[in-house]
Structure 1
Amino acid sequence: MVSRRTFLAGSGAVTAGGFGLLPGLQSTALAAPSSTSGSPARLLPAFARPHHLHYGDVSKLNGADQTLLTTLQGVVNRARPELYFSFDTGTMSTPDAKWLADMRLPTTTYKNPLDLVAKYRHRVRGAIVHDPAVPDSLNVATTLAGLEDAVVANADQAKAHGLRIVKDLRGMFDDDRVKTYRWQLDNLFPRVTHKLLAGLPPTRVVPVENVQWKEIARETRQIRDSSNRGSYDLDVSAELGKEAVYVRFADSFTDDGWGGSVAEVTVKANGTQIAHFLPGTPDEAQYLFDGVNSSIGGEANRFSDGGGYFIYRFEPPAGTTSLVITATMWNQYLVAATDTAPTRIEPFAYFRDYVVATKALVSWLPPGGETGDLLIEHFAKYPTLAPYMGWFANDVSGEWDGVDLASQGGSPVIAADFYMNGTVHAGFTAPISDKVRPVRRISKPKNKVYLTLTFGEGDNIQYCQRHMRDLWDDPKRGEAPANWTISPLLLETGPGLFSHFQRTATANDLLVCGPSGAGYTYPGSWKPDQFTQFLKLTGSVLRRTGINQVYSYSHRENDKWVLLSEEIARGFAKYTPLKGIMQTWDGDLLAVRQGGLPIVGQWGAPGKAAEYKAALDARVAQWDGAAPLFISGGINAWSWTPSDIADLAALLGDPYELILANTFFDLLNRTL
């Protein structure tokens, strides 16, 4: 996985706060994959099917107004989905608009979406007012909004829209995140649903329009081995004149994942040092203006790949005429500077409709230190298999640590923090086939290189909703065989989405399960008895979606992904219909049989088609040609498209044969 995303549970009975009293929602069993009647039980709450949607484009609204509307959407849509918003640009080429069109429901469009507050004001009890000085109070307000049938607003919004203040959180909390969420857990947990818990950032960073960046330094070579590591003087004096100078570090080659890394920064104004720090230390914090799209690496370096970046803010003394930043950096850096604050902080509005509608508890606890300890306490209060929906703080490191904690606690993660209109998509039904795709059987394997290529990220339901839809609409999709990871939990969170991908797949498109089954998880981190429950749930949803291959993680030891154990593989073989497993892998090519199932390690290479092919050739050069060679190739869904797959396929002559995963595993299973 290349992005952000995230989450845990232990023992505990489902108590008051479930869905038995909520109109329009059905209470369903959680812990078992099937009911005693034989019909499948739901993991997540059910919503009524929408009949008519009131639609508005909210893409130009600020985060505060979007939050007001998404929490209103949660209260209204709980009974039956009626509100739907576009968070893109409002044209029919955006994912939100495409899915709306696909539903073919009657709609009423509102030029000013905020008019919907007055239309539906009688459906809410009023507003929960959050404290703008304490960002995490927005999450507490969201939890309370679900419990009190209210919207989340600031004081000015409540006044402007004539909303009665149900609860005012101003002055109630300070900036101690642990204390804030401790209060919420102690006071609100008995009232919330115990079918799921949520994790959402209280704020987001929004780009400011028309900021002029001046390029300062760029690595023009595709360097990935740190061979250009050095101390670089970056003269940003031209940006002096206003209160501060902002310096952005980005990736000069956005498609291969080797962005610039920074290990030390020194700043001199007119030759006098005014700042010095190492990334990841308290000294850095006062200068790090925006680091949300970056990570700390193993060398205590800060880096950002692809379209990500990080920004430092330096405020030189009055009268400064020379400002030089000396940075120890390497790989594919791109440095630019500006004198204008390039971003602003706004409330994070996304997915709050689903949280409010389901009366879920929402927090934002980085999975380390005191906040990690409190996160573990949260998970321990929830039943096994209660999903964590949303994401984790701290980018990739937060993902690994958070999902590992969730796995240890028996909870699958559903990456959903940017899943828009979740209450509508969960209610809209569409046909989903349980028929397994027939295998194109190769009767006798030849001494060839059998290659299967798989787009990652499919466990991430927001990816399925947004970026995967864009990729799917590439006119070259289907020209070459490609596997598409997808979440089988779209059965409940977005059946219309899953149905669309299933119904419009070509003969060269194969849907496979995203990591690592019924939710993003690390199988090796689970308690065995809880993992059995997860496997039974996975088997149920895979059989209902006709999927019999999975991309899986295992767990990490000494910062390396290890092979799925014999016991875990036997569990997959016993409880699921899987014919093969692709697993994350750090070593050389892997193709083994474990627990009766063929398992292959996922191999990958940077760059686009030509570079990927060159890396394949280099690896295949070690092959003696005496037996078939099997390679499961990972494709970065954030930088590749079906057009790139077609370009690669055009380069693959003898000895390669590009095939779908079902054929790949059928052949591998007979060859091992």
Structure 2
Amino acid sequence: MVSRRTFLAGSGALTAGGFGLLPGLPAGAVPTLSTTTSGRLLPGFERPKHLHYGDVSKLSGGDQTLLTTLQGIVNRTRPELYFSFDTGTMSTPDAKWLTDMHLPTTTYQNPLDLVARYRHRVRGAIVHDPAVPDSLNVATTLAGLESAVVADADQAKAHGLRIVKDLRGMFDDDRVKTYRWQLDNLFPRVTHQLLAGLPPTRVVAVENVQWQEIARETRQIRDSSNRGSYDLDVSAKLGKGTVFVRFADSFTDDGWGASVSEITVKANGTQIAHFLPGTPQEAPFLFDGVNSSIGGEANRFSDGGGYFIYQFEPPAGTTSLVVTVTMWNQYLVSATDTSPTRIEPFAYFRDYVVATKALVSWLPPGGETGDLLVEHFAKYPTLAPYMGWFANDVSGEWDGVDLASQGGSPVIAADFYMNGTVHAGFSAPISDKVRPVRRINKPKNKVYLTLTFGEGDNIQYCQRHMRDLWDDPKRGDAPANWTISPLLLETGPGLFSHYQRTATANDLLVCGPSGAGYTYPGSWVPSDFTQFLKLTGSTLRRTGMDVVYSYSHRENDKWVLLSPEIAAGFKKYTPLKGIMQTWDGDLLAVRQGGLPVVGQWGAPGKAAEYKAALDARVAQWDGTKPLFISGGINAWSWTPSEISELASLLKDPYELVLANTFFDLLNRVL
């Protein structure tokens, strides 16, 4: 067995008046593995003094990658470069955070001019192989080690960059071999303080593509009752050689989109394709499946704003093209004759990876790639975070987080975390004061409901979508809990400080799953999990949070109750007053290991439908004692305005409370 060295970030923050400021690194220092004396889990950066700013939202993925890897080298000690990846207006998150920092800023109309300005700070370029997408990640790892940027050959020539290492022809399309070479040859040189997972490419929508609607389910069906075989005539899109057929969700706010289990395609009556999702036969026709998943019925599905696209190339002269599909639920099918997307390098978060000299890979957590991912976790110290994300969408998330948990690595979802080096260096006051409880002296026989926005473990969500939600003018009209990552202490103190300082009396920050990083407690080696709990306790005490939303682990495709031992560990090592956990069953409110644990309950739809589902559940309550419901709110489809709308519908016997009041009551009732 590979030995693992355990480390723990201590509580060595500088404090004054209840606020903690995390220390940066001395000038010229290179980030190294944390120790208990450094007070940090992750590498640190000096506070920026002046930022050179550019809007890169219209640049190609290749040019964005060139600039973000340049940003990683330049920002390695004191950050100087900051980019906007949105639209360039001052209402986008990147621009809002820049404004909030109140730093002197120089704006560049052409951000690529910054390459010439800072060319003397880099040794040259690591040239990736466009024919082998994963070579971009190897190039990124090398860029951090060699103080270089990542470029293709044309970019290197155009910007006068010396080629430090040329990866063209070095790898083939065998992903395992590529990342095996990287692990064997580069691991001794990279930081062992974190490891990263980033997709080498991304799918970019092509503008002005005209989609023609072919079929739509107009009813909100979620029980497969409309399952059937549907003949979809897409002949109107013949003529350019390829027809693209997209399956999406006709009701994007409740998460029960198109589900497909079999497809047959006939051109002028002759079969040209037949396949089942998830099989090798599907692969030649699946044009874009990144936002979809394979379900338990061997079906491909996509919910909310997601979709999947198939492509079909009928023979020349075809006048009739019919796609026969077995599908169900809330489908929306459309077709086009124009390629709707293109593939570009994935540029995001590479500044942080390069600056910290991290090793970055992209290994789907299954089969040979999953075995190699396990080897990665085994080589790193316990608590070394995995930053980025996993391949294969939802199933990749579950399997990837499970492997990371078994390997002792908390996950920090960060693949779209922009300007990470700047946000990690920008210190800001964070209070360690716990929010006072609005105490209800005598619980009544009422339904006490607390509502919680999820996704807060995801630091890119905290940086981007949460900021949009937070700026809703209706925020604060009704009590709501907001999950947030306590690791923003180090990855974005300014972000955490903003939310903490601008919270209303009806906003409560609670720890996102499942503590100091996204993880499944039941999958850890117990002794390693104790170290995670100590880290969680340290970060919670420094951020004033005393409630956590936690996952447990899955058995037979179901989330199970946190064990008494795990709950007792939370009680012993953290300041928690209670735990909200993922749950697949009926309402749950129990005492485990000395702490109240409640299962997160949810319902589809928006305010009226959510209220109707609550009423249906409450109808089973006998009214002889208080009923406690911890309600989950989908952060991607709800807003504070809709929380306010729901609150207006909650009359007697409901009482909407914050989580601290909720657990204060529950602790006295259980």
The one-letter amino acid of 1:222's match is Q
Distance 1:112 1:271 in 2: 54
Distance 2:563 2:304 in 1: 33
Q: How do residues 507-656 of structure 1 correspond to structure 2 at under 5 angstroms? A: 507-656=505-654
1:11 counterpart = 2:9: no
Distance 1:13 1:316 in 2: 58
1:27 shift after superposition: 4.2
Instruction: Determine if contact 2:428/2:493 at 8 Å carries over to the other structure.
Output: yes
1:120 aligned counterpart, secondary structure: helix
1:266 matched to which residue of 2?
A: 264
Distance 1:646 1:25 in 2: 48
1:434 matched to which residue of 2?
A: 432
Instruction: Determine if contact 2:32/2:193 at 8 Å carries over to the other structure.
Output: no
Deviations 1:439-468 (A, max 9, x none): 000000000000000000000000000000
Residues 10, 216 of structure 1: alpha-carbon distance in 2 compared, 3 angstrom cutoff:
farther
1:13 shift after superposition: 8.1
Gaps of 5+ in 1: 1-8
1:51 counterpart = 2:49: yes
Among 84, 87, 90, the alignment partner of 2:85 is 87
1:23 matched to which residue of 2?
A: 28
Distance 2:650 2:34 in 1: 49
1:505 matched to which residue of 2?
A: 503
Among 340, 350, 356, the alignment partner of 2:348 is 350
1:567 aligned counterpart, secondary structure: helix
Q: How do residues 92-103 of structure 1 correspond to structure 2 at under 5 angstroms? A: 92-103=90-101
1:335 matched to which residue of 2?
A: 333
The one-letter amino acid of 1:594's match is Q
2:18 matched to which residue of 1?
A: none
1:444 counterpart = 2:442: yes
Distance 1:398 1:204 in 2: 16
1:464 matched to which residue of 2?
A: 462
Distance 2:185 2:5 in 1: 17
Distance 2:144 2:547 in 1: 38
1:550 shift after superposition: 0.1
1:247 aligned counterpart, secondary structure: strand
1:41 shift after superposition: 1.6
The one-letter amino acid of 1:23's match is G
Distance 2:562 2:165 in 1: 49
Distance 1:199 1:325 in 2: 37
Instruction: Determine if contact 1:10/1:379 at 8 Å carries over to the other structure.
Output: no
Distance 1:516 1:29 in 2: 21
Deviations 1:495-525 (A, max 9, x none): 0000000000000000000000000000000
Instruction: Determine if contact 2:25/2:45 at 8 Å carries over to the other structure.
Output: no
Distance 1:612 1:218 in 2: 24
1:554 shift after superposition: 0.4
1:668 aligned counterpart, secondary structure: helix
Instruction: Determine if contact 2:196/2:359 at 8 Å carries over to the other structure.
Output: yes
1:332 shift after superposition: 0.2
Among 259, 272, 277, the alignment partner of 1:279 is 277
Distance 1:281 1:424 in 2: 44
Q: How do residues 140-179 of structure 1 correspond to structure 2 at under 5 angstroms? A: 140-179=138-177
2:597 aligned counterpart, secondary structure: strand
Distance 2:424 2:536 in 1: 19
1:5 matched to which residue of 2?
A: none
1:23 shift after superposition: 2.1
1:4 matched to which residue of 2?
A: none
Distance 1:616 1:311 in 2: 36
1:417 matched to which residue of 2?
A: 415
Deviations 1:120-173 (A, max 9, x none): 000000000000000000000000000000000000000000000000000000
1:79 aligned counterpart, secondary structure: coil
Q: How do residues 43-442 of structure 1 correspond to structure 2 at under 5 angstroms? A: 43-442=41-440
2:76 aligned counterpart, secondary structure: helix
1:249 aligned counterpart, secondary structure: strand
Deviations 1:187-218 (A, max 9, x none): 00000000000000000000000000000000
The count of corresponding residues between Structure 1 and Structure 2 is 653
Instruction: Determine if contact 2:263/2:274 at 8 Å carries over to the other structure.
Output: yes
TM-score (structure 2 length as normaliser):
0.96
Among 481, 484, 487, the alignment partner of 1:483 is 481
2:281 aligned counterpart, secondary structure: helix
Residues 175, 22 of structure 1: alpha-carbon distance in 2 compared, 3 angstrom cutoff:
farther
Q: Which has the higher contact order (CA 8 A, sep 6+)?
A: 1
Distance 2:359 2:414 in 1: 15
1:243 shift after superposition: 1.6
1:648 aligned counterpart, secondary structure: helix
Gaps of 5+ in 2: 8-23
Distance 2:33 2:172 in 1: 38
Instruction: Determine if contact 2:6/2:383 at 8 Å carries over to the other structure.
Output: no
Instruction: Determine if contact 2:26/2:46 at 8 Å carries over to the other structure.
Output: no
Distance 2:313 2:604 in 1: 38
Instruction: Determine if contact 2:32/2:191 at 8 Å carries over to the other structure.
Output: no
Deviations 1:194-252 (A, max 9, x none): 00000000000000000000000000000000000000000000000002000000000
The one-letter amino acid of 1:358's match is T
Residues 13, 471 of structure 1: alpha-carbon distance in 2 compared, 3 angstrom cutoff:
closer
2:13 matched to which residue of 1?
A: none
Distance 1:290 1:312 in 2: 7
Distance 2:667 2:244 in 1: 56
Distance 1:176 1:21 in 2: 41
The one-letter amino acid of 1:540's match is S
Residues 654, 109 of structure 1: alpha-carbon distance in 2 compared, 3 angstrom cutoff:
same
